Homo-oligomer: A and B are copies of this chain.
């Protein structure tokens, strides 16, 4: 399949990342062949094309590997959940009323009880954990599924960021003690952080959601947050310590060593293809998609440059180079199409986000060299043909490091401090990004920001990560030790990060 050969295809990105971020994003997603919009009558759905799905597969392989090394087993639960099962969850907390799609008719049959297409699977997985857990010897139990879920959100669709059906993984675990369950919660948060930092080349902020913004029924919701170029924060993955509330509602109990019945502590955690949206949005530019080598379907494209009299020598040289890299495990594409000139090919592979282009012409053949060009910044390096496999790995690592460094620099520059309501509002209004401010812990104070500017507290750092936290003894930030809430002036208990969100 070579979708790119279509001569009618318009390769250029016409929108500007800086001035029309949303339109630019939609254009990149479509022109880089990552996704198409769903059928007529199904707004909010997307078709994930092979180049888009390949990103998800690589992310999944990495995260699934980490899960398996840390005791997680995959399973598969039905995609439908009886309404009465969902209702049980409502007992835990009011307000959990997801926008679900309902099946009421199947075949010729009117169902006695309507079935929800799963919006998340706590209410069907927990009853089985209850059956499977009898003794402390059955704990911990950790199940995960890679699947799609459906949430009938009315808001505007953005491929990967917000779709009515989305791919994700959801993990559900039960443990003997709070300490173990909390450890599980942070282990998964660490792994989500690793996905961003080690696979997607993006730094993230980690912390917990304010109590009023937790997953309903959770004791604590932890999150990794990523900053988008338009200054908004994306929730990159969440890991919930559920306390014993779900275990009580679904009767997940176990006999301890003394044969006394105890209630388990449970967790759940999920990461969706929104992470791909964040990836595309963060690194890409007005030439198109930019990808780190970790997830790029092709890490290297070789573009041979020839005239009639040099064609054979150049193509031989390029083919051998491609074969060597392939043998070395590099994902390499040799673009030897006759029907396209090198300039066209450069543009096309830049649009598609190949991290490093290797140019091979008569000069390279004569000198035993290869010219490497980095996708993010066009930096050009001459490599010796001998030892090229190693050298190419080095260039790929360098591209990764550049992408990470650029994202980190952006993030660092977009965290600003404020200590009054006016300053929070003004700073977010003017710059976007994160505004860090002492907070008393009351929802009311957040509301006074949210009502004015649609920004909210996206994250509260864990005390141990927070050098602005008043309780943090190790802090050298004297000012925060006795800080007052930036909004109400009462004593602050935590540092809050305010931002606009996706």
Interface residues, chain A, with chain B CB atoms under 8 Å away: 1-3, 5-8, 36, 38-42, 45-50, 52-54, 56-57, 71, 73-82, 84-85, 99-109, 112-113, 115, 117, 124, 127-128, 131-132, 134-135, 137-143, 147-148, 150, 152, 154, 165, 167
Please give 15 more A-B residue pairs, beta carbons under 8 A apart, in addition to A6-B134, A6-B138: A6-B135, A7-B135, A42-B78, A47-B128, A48-B76, A50-B143, A54-B73, A54-B74, A56-B76, A76-B148, A80-B101, A99-B107, A101-B103, A104-B104, A117-B117
Docked pose: A71 CA to B115 CA in angstroms: 38
A contact patch SS:
mixed
Closest to A39 in B: B82
Q: Assess the A3–B138 pair: CB atoms within 8 A.
A: yes
Name the B residues within 8 Å of A113 (CB-CB).
41
Q: Assess the B78–A45 pair: CB atoms within 8 A.
A: yes
Q: Assess the A48–B73 pair: CB atoms within 8 A.
A: no
Q: Assess the A76–B53 pair: CB atoms within 8 A.
A: yes
Partner of A132, one of B3, B74, B112, B140: B3
A45 to nearest B CB, angstroms? 4
A51 to nearest B CB, angstroms? 8
Q: Assess the B6–A137 pair: CB atoms within 8 A.
A: yes
Q: Assess the A106–B102 pair: CB atoms within 8 A.
A: yes
Docked pose: A109 CA to B153 CA in angstroms: 11
Docked pose: A144 CA to B395 CA in angstroms: 33
Name the B residues within 8 Å of A103 (CB-CB).
101-103, 117
Q: Assess the B42–A2 pair: CB atoms within 8 A.
A: no
Would A77 and B47 be within 8 Å (CB), given that A6-B135, A8-B134, A137-B6 are in contact? yes
Q: Assess the A137–B48 pair: CB atoms within 8 A.
A: no
Partner of A74, one of B57, B81, B115: B57
Partner of A140, one of B1, B77, B78, B134: B1
Name the B residues within 8 Å of A81 (CB-CB).
39
Identical subunits present: 2
Name the B residues within 8 Å of A2 (CB-CB).
137-138
Q: Assess the A5–B138 pair: CB atoms within 8 A.
A: yes
Instruction: Sample 11 A-B pairs with CB under 8 A, ordered by A number.
Output: A1-B140, A5-B138, A42-B115, A45-B80, A47-B76, A48-B77, A79-B150, A101-B105, A106-B152, A107-B154, A117-B117
Q: Assess the A107–B100 pair: CB atoms within 8 A.
A: yes
Would A85 and B39 be within 8 Å (CB), given that A1-B73, A53-B76, A141-B1 are in contact? yes
Name the B residues within 8 Å of A73 (CB-CB).
1, 50, 53-54
Of all A-B residue pairs in the complex, the 5 with the closest CB atoms, nearest first, are: A50-B73, A99-B107, A5-B137, A107-B152, A101-B106
A487 to nearest B CB, angstroms? 34
Closest to A114 in B: B105
Docked pose: A7 CA to B134 CA in angstroms: 9
Q: Assess the A75–B102 pair: CB atoms within 8 A.
A: no
Docked pose: A117 CA to B127 CA in angstroms: 25
